[in-house]
Amino acid sequence: MGKRSSGAGTPDGRAELEALRRRTSELNRRILDLLSERARVVIEVRKVKERHAIDLFSPGREAEMLEDLVSANPGPFPDDTIRHLFREVFRASLGLMEGEAETSLRVARKPGEPDAVIRVGGQGLPARAIGAAPVVIAGPCAVEDEEQVEAVAAELARLGVGFIRGGAFKPRTSPYAFQGLGARGLGILAAAARRHGLATVTEVVDTRSVDLVARHADVVQVGSRNMANYELLKALGSTRKPVLLKRGFAATLDELLLAAEYLASAGNEDVILCERGVRTFARETRFTLDISAVPLLKRMTRLPVVVDVSHSAGRRDILPSLARAALAAGAHGVMVEVHPDPALARSDAQQQLDFAAFRELLASLAPLWTPAPRGRRGR
């Protein structure tokens, strides 16, 4: 056994160690410079790959680089250690490529970028916008007949609500359920809306009817069941009407944003996102309103975010609380189903509000939402 040392070593030993430590620190800096230089080259590679539509990940190329490094390995690190170290470098580089691609989404919020304000309407309609002051979008689940839509439109206009919704094409879970009035329903909705100075929101369910729906609607809705219908999204890219894109009821927020990116990259950046509840184990509500989606989406994107409380809950009694929660969380609007006689509704009878309950809901939203003065800038 050697002599016990105090642990501080001799002055010579300390000086020698200090010199070696300085060298390792210098080498760390050189490795860092080289890694940073390599990362800048990787970003250049990504740009070339994007320009020429080449896959970002190339497994063959990684294997080739690893073999090249192992064959040049001078030691003392064993080959496996070299493989392990460089695999980490490659993984970080791929992350950089994909991460860069992610933040360059057209719909992503760039640092400091303000909320997008989407203008709606035209043709004699008071100027309306979604993305600034909160809006209410209300109306029946489905367009059923002239009298029903006229009654709702008159009531909305009287209450200072600027947007009427109503499905003419209905995506129903059962093929035997009422599928909507189709083209006739679009005409009924548009006519009532024009009579009362309202903007319309109505759903398109397939690529064949994109032109027809976009001609009649002020805002074209893509339903939850169609969020991932990428051909439909691409077709909607060429319409000049804003699109209200509902979150698929089993979709993540990333998937919703990528669906919005389909619209934006196909030419239509006027997209309004709609949280409408997701499927969970809860049985008390039809879906579960994911309120955290509101602030999260607002961080991720500049696009307006609205919340459909009716389809989230599938029941009437808690709608005022959910609508208040949505606006308090920062939503740019709420969507609510309203019907002159919900018990007789041909779809979603259990969740539509009658006029009295709707008036109570609106009253409960003050001061988060206030009615638009009639004939002036609508909300």
Instruction: Report how many residues bind Mn ion under the rule CB under 5 A.
Output: 2
For residue 321, give Cα distances in angstroms to 135, 143, 318, 328, 334. Answer: 16, 27, 6, 10, 12
Considering the complex, state which of residue 241 and residue 286 has its C-beta at the smaller distance from Mn ion.
286
- Tell me whether residue 203 or residue 218 sits nearer to Mn ion (CB atom): 203
For residue 276, state whether it binds ligand PEP (rule: CB under 6 A). yes
CB 289 to ligand PEP: min, Å? 12
Listed ranges 189-197, 222-230, 251-259, 338-346: which one lies at the site for ligand PEP (CB under 6 A): 222-230
| Shortest distance (Å) from residue 322 CB to ligand PEP | 14
Residue 224 within binding range of ligand PEP, rule CB under 6 A: yes
Which residue of this chain has its Cβ atom nearest to ligand PEP in the complex?
223
Instruction: Tally the C-alpha atoms within 13 A of residue 144's C-alpha that lie toward its C-beta.
Output: 19
Residue 223, contacted partner among Mn ion, ligand PEP, none, CB below 5-8 A by kind: ligand PEP
Stretch that binds Mn ion, among 19-27, 33-41, 67-75, 133-141 (CB under 5 A): 133-141
Contact 238, 267 (CB under 8 A): yes
Q: Which two tokens stand for residue 155?
A: 């009531």
Binding flag, residue 334, ligand PEP (CB under 6 A): no
If one asks whether residue 336 binds Mn ion (CB under 5 A), the answer comes out as no
Contact pattern from residue 36 through residue 75 relative to ligand PEP, giving x for each residue in contact according to CB under 6 A and a dash for the rest: ----------------------------------------
Selected range binding ligand PEP among 145-153, 217-225, 255-263, 360-368, rule: CB under 6 A? 217-225
Decide: 236 and 211 in contact? Cβ < 8 Å: no
Nearer to Mn ion, 221 or 301 (CB): 221
Task: Using CB under 5 A, pick the residue from 155, 261, 269, 348 that binds Mn ion.
Answer: 348
| Residue 311 binding ligand PEP, by CB under 6 A | yes
Expressed in angstroms, the distance from the first to the final Cα of the chain is 88
CB-count exposure of residue 86 (10 Å: 0-12, 13-18, 19+): middle
Encoded one letter per residue, x for contact with ligand PEP by CB under 6 A and - for no contact, window 190-209 reads -------------x------
141 binds ligand PEP (CB under 6 A): yes
Partner interacting with residue 246 (select from ligand PEP, Mn ion, none; CB below 5-8 Å by kind): ligand PEP
* Minimum CB–partner distance for residue 225 and ligand PEP (Å): 6
Q: Kindly state the smallest distance separating residue 150's Cβ from ligand PEP, in Å.
A: 20
- Does residue 246 touch ligand PEP according to CB under 6 A? yes
| Partner whose binding site includes residue 270, from ligand PEP, Mn ion, none (CB under 5 to 8 Å by kind) | none
> Which stretch, 59-67, 91-99, 105-113, 219-227, contacts ligand PEP (CB under 6 A)?
219-227
Q: Does 223 sit near ligand PEP (CB under 6 A)?
A: yes
Interaction site with ligand PEP (CB under 6 A): 141, 167, 171, 203, 223-225, 246, 276, 308, 311
Q: Which residues bind Mn ion (CB under 5 A)?
A: 141, 348
